[in-house]
Structure 1
């Protein structure tokens, strides 16, 4: 009898352990997904690289970004988006942080590293270019939504930052890098309008017809966006592994990776402290601020680098900091998601 009782208790214990394991996997599925897609990118980079079978130049640049803003438009209440647009204080903070403070901080860092002669001068120029870039139109929105932050504010600031960057980035490059960049304004504005504004408006229109169904069924828009982000991470790392594995000084590459990681950790920390304890933004707004103000656009960045340094034989080395920055910001943001979710869940108000 005792043996049977022990067996039953052991089976119960195993069931509890299995249930706990399943629960942890469900809770951290995104982090596990990040590890998996990076591993796949390392093993099969040709599959998701530009020109590869998955065609990220179309599926990511257009389809994925449009899907993100279409689902954002469907999931957000119109009054929330309208309210987000009126949050002038937050918009000024985000745009000033990403287009003024970050370039200044990167410039100071580059000058310090240049005096110490610790990093390849080409990589330092590349870091300056990264600092001048505007925010992207996808990753900040997805991560804000995944955490449970103010995704309406993230949508508005990402779009606004991209449009401002078209005008501000060339000025920053001229001032900090010393090279003039002729940016194709019309084509970039057209692209942003088609991939950001149009899907967002369409999502709002669709929501108007099925709002009752959305509120009743609660579709997993957050999980959909997170899945899209995993695809973006995979294709981004495919490009990174292919473009940074040949003809590059590995010591210099490692130094860039370390510098970029430390920069992003610093930018995120400063954004959190300023928005939480100086500006006193609510938790949801703080999440949007953290991602929108610290992320940099690869989509606008790579064409910009090619325009500015068109005749430079070391163009590939100049693009490495941006290629490193892009996956790092997504990876770091992805790992922060569960911790920030816990922080936001304590309440929508001001931090303790």
Structure 2
């Protein structure tokens, strides 16, 4: 089995931040606050440049499917997160409780949702539309949903400031990428792997900076291996619940097999690419930022493994049906 280099790099970044946080902490020699700020803008500019408006339009017609997926992402998931937030009181740190709710409030992924849907022979145009629109909705919906629990006693920026900050950091570069797409696509279209590496590199930098901040502030002294296991188990349970809910509800609503596959993969996934910069904006200055991001980090890795297995199973089932 091939080892995921991105996972190894992220693990190395976390371990480095725990062992030697000074370079990446505020005021450190790497000046990661500025680097990540402009790097995030570059990532979303590249995403905007790579996303095809034609692909979006071709999948836009199935509004019932899109409404279902977005309801799962921004209504059902946060409700489950709210229940988990209450139940976890006293079991894990406040930062981890907050992190679980933040995970549930996040938008869906784009790249992996579409890739898994394609592998499983689902409705790819609808997956492209759903995953893309989810990211745009999340720029406003996520801060609003987070009002339910606040910031665990830490002062959050005003809602309007948070939304404007997210729009300025994520939406404007994305829109500029779309505008510049006719000019940039001939160059970027042949360098998809390089674009993907830039995307992943910036995520790793944000994770590293966040964990450096938390380590330097001493937050991890309140963390234990037992809590890590609780986080991993709960993240796995959340994924299982959402995969089951999206699949069963989509079937009950009469969606086709291809649409059910799209609903399952788009409605159960959460975006680390959007989540990392969003957390950095929403919890700016929070000493426990690394711990807040931990549930999303673990969920991201678990969903990739589990959904890859599921997509392969769906693909084999589709092949068997065709024979």
- Structure 2 length normalisation: TM-score? 0.69
Alignment correspondent of 2:268 = 290
Structure 1 residue aligned with 2:75: 100
Q: Matched residues in 2 for 1:343 and 1:218: separation?
A: 30
How far has the Cα of 1:333 moved from its partner? 4.6
Tell me what 1:74 maps to.
Answer: 49
Partners of 1:228 and 1:136 in 2: CA distance? 18
Cα distance in 1 between the residues matched to 2:114 and 2:74: 23
Offset from partner CA, 1:218-253 (integer Å, 9 cap, x none): 524255224422442244145325514765575753
RMSD between superposed Cα atoms in Å: 4.5
Counterparts of 1:169-248 in structure 2 under 5 Å?
Answer: 169-170=146-147, 172-173=148-149, 183-209=157-183, 213=186, 218-221=189-192, 224-240=195-211, 242-244=213-215, 247=218
Which of 32, 48, 57 lines up with 2:33 in the alignment? 57
Q: How many pairs are equivalent?
A: 306
Structure 2 stretches lacking a partner, 5+ long? 119-126
Contact map agreement 2:78 2:104 (CA 8 A) in 1: no
Q: Does 1:324 align with 2:294?
A: yes
Larger CA deviation: 336-345 vs 261-270? 336-345
Distance 2:44 2:223 in 1: 37
| 2:162–2:281 contact (8 Å) kept in structure 1 | no
Change in CA separation of 1:324 and 1:142 when aligned onto 2, cut-off 3 Å: same
Equivalent position SS for 1:292: coil
What does residue 6 of structure 1 align with? Answer: none
Report the alpha carbon displacement of residue 159 of structure 1 after superposing the two structures with TM: 1.9
Deviations 1:177-207 (A, max 9, x none): 8x89875344333333333333333323333
2:16 matches 1:45: no
TM-score when normalising by structure 1: 0.65
Distance change >3 Å, CA 154–CA 55, structure 1 → 2: farther
Q: Distance in 2 between matches of 1:74 and 1:303?
A: 23
Conservation of the 8 A alpha-carbon contact between 1:70 and 1:202: yes
Cα 1:251–1:140 shift into 2, 3 Å: same
Q: Secondary structure at the match of 1:45?
A: coil
Q: Which runs of 5+ in 1 are unaligned?
A: 1-23, 308-314
